Structure 1
Amino acid sequence: MEDIAHIIAQGQENTARANLTFIEKSLFAKKLSNSGMTKDTIRSALTVDDTLLSRMLAVVENVPDPVLDAVGSAKGVGRDRWEELKKLVLIPSKAAIAIEFVSGEEFRHSTPENRFDVLLNHLKKGKKPKQQASKAAERAWALADNTVSVSTKDTGKAFTMALKSKDASSFGTYVSEQLERLYREFRQTENDQTGD
């Protein structure tokens, strides 16, 4: 009991005096947990609630040790940003990238204050950029007397055709009835061109 009271008093004193960062408190919580202290004791020592303690432990249990060691105290980096890093490194390939990156030149040449940001930005850069929707190719065709006009739109994945004007309905019906023949002719032309 005396040991526990001593740990609680020492933890509270260190937390108050040293103005520990989020990650320093989290590592201390992990150390106490690994030494067999109960969550109640750890919460009292760090003066945190159960939710915050769970988050602290989740960060230090999931961010690889080489990354934690390399980043250091990370002054000014709070819980939310550490949780963002934790979510990224939960993906095994990202964890491997993080470990490799912290032993590289770019990371080593960054200042201790910037190391966390440099790492986080590097991991975020690895996200696949959103593919921009390719602009649909549009074409128009019409007879000189405007009895029918056709507009087409080709997105690469879909091709749409719109018929307008006086004969649009009857011409559209005719075209749709000819689709099987047109498709066979198209395939034959393709085969003739490729030699298949």
Structure 2
Amino acid sequence: MMSSNRALRSARDAVDAHHVWELDPAEIEDERIADRLDPQDVQDLRTSIEQNGQAVPILVRRHPDIASRYLLVYGRRRLQAIRGSDKVSKIRALIANLDDTAALRAQVSENTARRDLSYIERALFARELLDNGFGSQAQVAEVLNVTRSSISMSISVARAIGSSLANAIGPAHGIGRPRWDAMAQMLSDTGVDPDQLCQVAVDARSRSTADIAPDDDRSGDPSVAAFEAVMRHLKKKAAPSKDKKTKTQSKPLSLNGSPAGAVRRSRRAVRLDLTDVDDAFAEWLEASAQDVLQELHERWRGRS
């Protein structure tokens, strides 16, 4: 929270004379990486702005190449609401002098100040930042105010789950890393294509929404129901039949003569578990895993 407050203060300090401008929404571009899986409908917000005015300005920064255009820092829903209005033609905005990193920090901090990102939202956001060349895992971890090891695990989970299934499930607030990690492992063990589970998640969300009456005070989360439905589906797929059980083969590994873990192979996966290795080596292997795997594959293809 202290880091978030610093980022927001830094953004406010960069605002031009703290003047609120009225801009044409068409002049504002939104090139940010999305950090929400389940954005709320903007209809109610549009109605409120049309009736009462825009109480809170959005934050933009000047486009680096086009003098008459701006890049959105935060305030996407307000921008969408006014773009869709036939009664409001201007949007109130603060204009800040921010570089890419500072703008990203302000975006994350403003969202965190309103509601924490769920685990899978943060994981997908971290993966998108890394894939879009924002920086290293260490730099992404600094922006999101978490440890590098947690970012590495989160990115691994995000890649295993995939964007399609994650979006079909939704943010699932309250579902933490261990359960998302379990889903990723079950996807690997069963060999089920994550995209094939999207309909399971969508159907579960629809049923959950329909089961809760408008005057019901339960705080049911359809995305949590979708998560649970997908897990139940995977557990059925993972359950071995009576006449065909999957046997896992395990081979111990050593490093410089000392036990280092094991490599385990099941019918659908090969898993490397290193339990007694130096932390520095583990971090290097984690960062270099893709290159090492590619090298081993090339050696296998070129074997005589």
Q: 2:238 aligns with which of 124, 127, 144?
A: 127
> Which residue matches 1:14?
111
Provide Cα deviations, 1:19-52, integer angstroms capped at 9, x if missing partner.
Answer: 1110111121122222211123311221111111
Alignment CA distance shift 1:65-1:9 (3 Å) = closer
Equivalent-residue separation in structure 2 for 1:106 and 1:11 (angstroms): 30
> Which residue matches 2:146?
48
Instruction: Give the fraction of aligned pairs with identical amino acids, expressed as a percent.
Output: 27
- Structure showing greater radius of gyration is 1
RMSD: 2.6
Equivalent-residue separation in structure 2 for 1:43 and 1:76 (angstroms): 21
CA contact (8 A) 2:204 2:226 kept: no
Give the structure with the larger strand fraction: 2
CA contact (8 A) 1:8 1:44 kept: no
Amino acid at match of 2:160: N
Alignment CA distance shift 1:44-1:8 (3 Å) = farther
Q: TM-score scaled to structure 1, two decimals?
A: 0.57
Equivalent-residue separation in structure 1 for 2:204 and 2:118 (angstroms): 24
Q: 2:172 aligns with which of 74, 96, 120?
A: 74
> Which residue matches 2:200?
101
> Which residue matches 2:133?
36
Alignment CA distance shift 1:127-1:24 (3 Å) = same
> Which residue matches 1:85?
183
2:226 maps to 1:115: yes
Aligned residues: 131
> Which residue matches 1:58?
156
Q: Higher RCO, 1 or 2 (CA under 8 Å, sep at least 6)?
A: 2
CA contact (8 A) 2:169 2:224 kept: no
Gaps in structure 2 of 5+ consecutive residues? 1-97, 209-221, 244-304
> Which residue matches 2:5?
none
Gaps in structure 1 of 5+ consecutive residues? 133-196
Amino acid at match of 2:133: G
| Aligned residue runs from structure 1 range 160-175, under 5 A | none
CA contact (8 A) 1:71 1:116 kept: yes
